[in-house]
Structure 1
Amino acid sequence: MAFATRMAQALRQHWRHYLVEAGGIMAFLAVSSTAAVVFHHPASAVARALGPHEWVQRTGVGLVVGGLIVAMAYSPWGRRSGAHFNPAVTLGFWQLGHIRTPDAVWYVLAQFAGALGAGLGMYWLLAPWFGHHLIHYNTTRPIEAPHGWALALGAEMLISAGLMLGLLWALHSARRKKWAGALAGLLLALFVSVESPLSGMSLNPARTLGAAVAAGQWQGLWLYFLGPLAAMWATAEAYRRHRRAGAGAERPPMYPDPAA
């Protein structure tokens, strides 16, 4: 069967899954952008109440973002698609054979489309506050320091590998599988609080591109593609090889579910 035919067939069968993926990244950018304004802008009562300590404000953003990920992962919509919301996560699961190639392509297209739409929408909705230097349109950028790009790239690869490894560790266990969504939310909250001063905490090429296009800010964009994609692909491949001997180990479900 020609690949174009397989793509068309997948679209007819699983278009709802792709809408979930687009909607998920849209929700993520909308909530994270709003949280950035609420917790960082000097005119915000919440930011003033938390005081001048940026790590406290980052923790607030992290809790909101992490809570959103948990809610989406356990929602009926997130369960439908597998709640990737991230091209790098989709690449990792594709490498493991947990998602078919046509579905993976549609997932990634939907994720980028959703991110671009949300990025532009939030740019206009939050325009009076979004440009403040503490928020900077919710873009992700390397720190302004010698070799800041290298530090940001290394940090992105580290947290991306950590997220993928955590997901695989949870999803490949019948006992831990139910906690996979909570673990993902916890890790994102931790990364926002601790790692974001180094790279802005992206993990997600679509999320970074959506904000960058809206703001017209392209600094270091390549590293937010290379870091997460390479790290999650490599982590998935290493995990696959490690688990190859345990042929009887339980595999996570395939998304989209062929029976759906």
Structure 2
Amino acid sequence: MPLAHRLLSALRRHWPHYVAEALGLAFFVGSAGLLTILLEHPASPVRQSLAESHLLRRGVMGLGLGLVLVIIIYNPWGKKSGAHINPAVTLAFWQLGKIRLPDAVWYVLAQLCGAIGAAQLLKLGLPKFYAHPAVKYTVTQPNPVFVQGELTAFVAEFIICFVMMLVTLLALHSSRLKAWAGWLLGALLAVYVLVETPYSGMSLNPARTLGTAVAAGRYHGLWIYWLAPCLAMWLATVGFLRFHHGQPLECAILAGCGPSPVSPHASDEEPPQYPDE
């Protein structure tokens, strides 16, 4: 069957899942922008009260974004699509055979639309705040402080993405941890924001980085934030498949699902599964 026909067929059957992915990433990008304005813009009372506490501000940002991620994963729409909200995550689940190619293509396109749309809304709604040098549209770019800034950013992004996907797979394959996978990922994201931000800006997500780059009109180092996450999560998945010999992953849902062949989700709520019928 031609890919174009499969894409149209998938769109007709699974468009609510794609909408959920777009809205999920839009919510994350919007939350990140608003939190950055609150914590970094000079006019913000929070920024003024924490003026000398760079580490504390990053800690608050990490906690905020961690909770945002948990909300996205465990809300009904997140459970519907699986809450990938990241092209690299979708690539990993496709590698695992838990999402079909046409659905993976639409997932990535929806994620890009969500990220770009949310960044543009912030740019239009809060232009002076979002564009302020202290906020910088929340773009992620290599830190010029480092001599090998692009290499540092690439290595940092690769490490955090590799670890995050490995934690995801370990949690979702564990009957004891799968229900807590979203909370583990939220906690890991909070730590990343606190510790890793100075090295690469802490992206983890190619679509998020592209959305803010389009809003800012700045594309320096964009390849890093596409190649490193996708390569890292793909390699983590390949390595996991090579060494894991236990219960296979049941579905591509970050909130977790049951270990039996019968999904606990209703048929009209279950995210697209492989293989295609």
Please report the TM-score for the alignment, with normalisation by the length of structure 1.
0.95
User: Which residue pairs with 1:101 in the alignment?
Assistant: 101
Aligned residue runs from structure 1 range 48-197, under 5 A? 48-144=48-144, 145-197=146-198
Matching residue's letter, 2:12 = R
Structure 1 stretches of 5 or more lacking a match?
Answer: none
Alignment RMSD: 1.4
Matching residue's letter, 2:94 = W
Structure 2 stretches of 5 or more lacking a match?
Answer: 254-270
Percent identity between the two aligned chains = 47
Instruction: State the Cα deviation string for residues 129-158 of structure 1 (Å, max 9, x = none).
Output: 223322111000101031111000000000
Question: How many residues of Structure 1 are paired with residues of Structure 2 in the alignment?
Answer: 256
| Separation in structure 2 between the aligned mates of residue 257 and residue 216 of structure 1, nearest angstrom | 35
CA contact (8 A) 1:37 1:44 kept: yes
Between 149-158 and 53-62, report the one with greater CA deviation. 53-62
Instruction: State the Cα deviation string for residues 44-75 of structure 1 (Å, max 9, x = none).
Output: 11112223121111111111111011011111
Matching residue's letter, 2:209 = T
CA contact (8 A) 1:173 1:250 kept: no
User: Which residue pairs with 1:27 in the alignment?
Assistant: 27
| Separation in structure 2 between the aligned mates of residue 165 and residue 38 of structure 1, nearest angstrom | 32
Instruction: State the Cα deviation string for residues 59-109 of structure 1 (Å, max 9, x = none).
Output: 111111110110111111100011000000101111111111111111001
| Separation in structure 2 between the aligned mates of residue 142 and residue 179 of structure 1, nearest angstrom | 33
| Separation in structure 1 between the aligned mates of residue 126 and residue 199 of structure 2, nearest angstrom | 24
| Separation in structure 2 between the aligned mates of residue 175 and residue 257 of structure 1, nearest angstrom | 25
How far the C-alpha of 1:122 sits from its partner, in A, is 1.1
Aligned residue runs from structure 1 range 195-206, under 5 A? 195-206=196-207
Please report the TM-score for the alignment, with normalisation by the length of structure 2.
0.89
| Separation in structure 1 between the aligned mates of residue 133 and residue 199 of structure 2, nearest angstrom | 16
| Separation in structure 2 between the aligned mates of residue 104 and residue 258 of structure 1, nearest angstrom | 10
For the residue of structure 1 that corresponds to 2:214, the secondary structure is helix
| Separation in structure 1 between the aligned mates of residue 225 and residue 190 of structure 2, nearest angstrom | 19
Instruction: State the Cα deviation string for residues 24-61 of structure 1 (Å, max 9, x = none).
Output: 11001100000001011121111122231211111111
| Separation in structure 1 between the aligned mates of residue 194 and residue 183 of structure 2, nearest angstrom | 17
| Separation in structure 2 between the aligned mates of residue 250 and residue 229 of structure 1, nearest angstrom | 22
| Separation in structure 2 between the aligned mates of residue 154 and residue 187 of structure 1, nearest angstrom | 18
| Separation in structure 2 between the aligned mates of residue 25 and residue 154 of structure 1, nearest angstrom | 24
Q: Which has the higher helix share?
A: 1
Q: Are the structure 2 counterparts of residues 135 and 254 from structure 1 closer, same or farther at C-alpha, using a change threshold of 3 Å?
A: closer
Matching residue's letter, 2:149 = G
| Separation in structure 2 between the aligned mates of residue 191 and residue 125 of structure 1, nearest angstrom | 29
User: Which residue pairs with 2:217 in the alignment?
Assistant: 216
CA contact (8 A) 2:99 2:273 kept: no
